[in-house]
Amino acid sequence: MLQESIPLFTMRDNKNNDLPVYIRTYGSEQVTKGMHAHQMIQINYVVTGSIVHQINRSQFVITAGDAFVIPPLVPHGLKPIEDTPFTITELEFNPEFLWGNLQPMDQMEGFFDFAYIEPFLVSEKEVKPRLNIPVRDRQEIVEALREITEEYMQQRQGFLLAIKACILRLLVRLGRLYTREVFMDGEDGLHAEHSRAIGRALAYIDEHFRQQIGVDLVAEQAYLSKSYFCYLFKHLTGRTFLEYVQEKRLNHACRMLIETDSKISDIAVASGFTTIPHFNRVFKQKLATSPRHYRKQYGTSMVARSPSDLAIPVPSFPIP
C-alpha cells in the first residue's frame, strides 16, 4: 500500500490535454524531487550522464544506456550526482491505453497475461533498479523513443495509434532484454525466485499428475499468471507444461506395465489419462510402440531378476 506521505502523480499532472501518453527528455533542472509514485507505467532511458535511482529503500547509480521501468504505485526517486549532468527520456502511459477498452486497471484481468509487460508489473521489492541495454540494442530503443516523441509533438492524424504501435514494439524489446538479464543474474537475482516458483509447480505436478490438473491450477501454485508461468516453465525445463505432465504419466504407466499385471485400461486411468484411445495415441507417439507390445517385450523378461539388474527402458526426463 502506498504511504500517504509519498506523492502520487496522475496523467493530468503532466498537463498534456488529457492524453493517455506523455513523453519528455529532461535534465537536472526538471527532475522530480523526492520519492514519489505514478498511476501510470513509466519507462525511462538514460541518454547521457549518470544519476542515482532510489527504489526498494536502496540507491543505485544508473548511467547512459540504462533503462528502468516503474510499474504503477511503486515509490521511487531520482537524485542528481554533483557535477554530473544527465539527460533522461521519460515515457508514461496509462495501461489501458494499449488495449483501447478504457477499463480500470483492476478490471483488466487479461492485461497481466501479456508476457512482454508482466516482468515489469511486479511488487516493489521485485522491481529491478536498472536494465543495461547492450550497445547493439540501444539504437532500436532510441529510435522507438524518438518516433514516439515525434508523433507526440506533431500530433498528426492517427498519432495515438502510431504511438501505441511504438510502445508495444518497445515493450517487446525491453521485455526480451529484461528476461535475458534476469536469467543471467545468478542465484541472488530473480532467477532464484523464478526457479523456486517453478520448483513449487513441479512438486505439485509430481504429487498430482494422476489427477486431472490444468495449467491454470498449477500456475496458481507457482503464484504466476498463466502466460508467464508457461514461459518460465518452458525456459527452465525445456518442455511445455503439457509435455512434462504427459511424460510423468507415461513414466508411471511404463512402470505399471512392467511391474504389475493390471489391465491396460486400469493403468491408463491410474496414470492420469482420461481415455484409453488418448493413452494409446500418446504412448505410441512417444515410445513408438503400443502399451501391449511394450509390456510383452519388457514385462516377461524381467521375471526373477534383481531390480538392480533390470535395464527397464522407461524414458527419463530429468528437470534441469
Both 58 and 95 in one domain: the answer is yes
Both 38 and 161 in one domain: the answer is yes
Question: 285 in a domain, yes or no?
Answer: yes
Question: 169 in a domain, yes or no?
Answer: yes
Phi-psi region of 62 (alpha: psi -120 to 50; beta: other; left: phi over 0): beta
How does residue 3 score in pLDDT terms, banded at 50, 70 and 90? low
Highest mean pLDDT among 50-59, 113-122, 174-183, 252-261: 252-261
Name the percent of the chain lying above pLDDT 70.
Answer: 75
Whether the pLDDT of residue 233 is over 80: the answer is yes
The string over 35-48, giving b where at least 16 C-beta atoms fall within 10 Å of a residue's C-beta and e elsewhere, is bebbbbbbbbbbbe
Both 221 and 297 in one domain: the answer is no
Both 213 and 290 in one domain: the answer is no
Which of 182, 205, 223 marks a domain boundary? Answer: 182
Which of 182, 202, 222 marks a domain boundary? Answer: 182
Question: 314 in a domain, yes or no?
Answer: no
Distance CA 198, CA 239 (A): 12
Whether the pLDDT of residue 131 is over 70: the answer is yes
Question: 1 in a domain, yes or no?
Answer: no
- Structural domains of the chain, count: 3
Q: Give the residue, 65 or 132, on which the prediction is more confident.
A: 65
The residue among 216, 222, 273 whose CA lies nearest residue 246 is: 273
pTM, to two decimals: 0.53
Residue 21 grid cell: 501518453
Which CATH number characterizes residue 69's domain?
Answer: 2.60.120.280
Question: 131 in a domain, yes or no?
Answer: yes
Question: 92 in a domain, yes or no?
Answer: yes
Query: Which range marks the domain in which residue 123 is found?
Result: 8-182
How does residue 312 score in pLDDT terms, banded at 50, 70 and 90? very low
Q: Give the residue, 305 or 97, on which the prediction is more confident.
A: 97
Both 47 and 96 in one domain: the answer is yes
How does residue 307 score in pLDDT terms, banded at 50, 70 and 90? very low
Both 70 and 121 in one domain: the answer is yes
Both 159 and 22 in one domain: the answer is yes
- Please report, as a single letter, which amino acid is at residue 218: V
Both 24 and 109 in one domain: the answer is yes
Asked if 251 and 282 count as a contact pair (C-beta separation under 8 A), the reply is: no
Both 178 and 227 in one domain: the answer is no
Which CATH number characterizes residue 295's domain?
Answer: 1.10.10.60
pLDDT value of residue 125: 52
pLDDT value of residue 320: 29
Question: 264 in a domain, yes or no?
Answer: yes
Both 152 and 246 in one domain: the answer is no
- pLDDT tens across 157-204, in order? 999 999 999 998 888 888 777 766 555 554 444 456 667 788 889 999
Whether the pLDDT of residue 106 is over 70: the answer is no
Both 217 and 294 in one domain: the answer is no
- pLDDT tens across 262-306, in order? 999 999 999 999 899 999 999 999 888 999 999 888 875 444 333
Both 300 and 221 in one domain: the answer is no
Question: 317 in a domain, yes or no?
Answer: no
Q: Give the residue, 87 or 318, on which the prediction is more confident.
A: 87
pLDDT (mean) for 20-36: 90
The residue among 4, 42, 38 whose CA lies nearest residue 24 is: 42
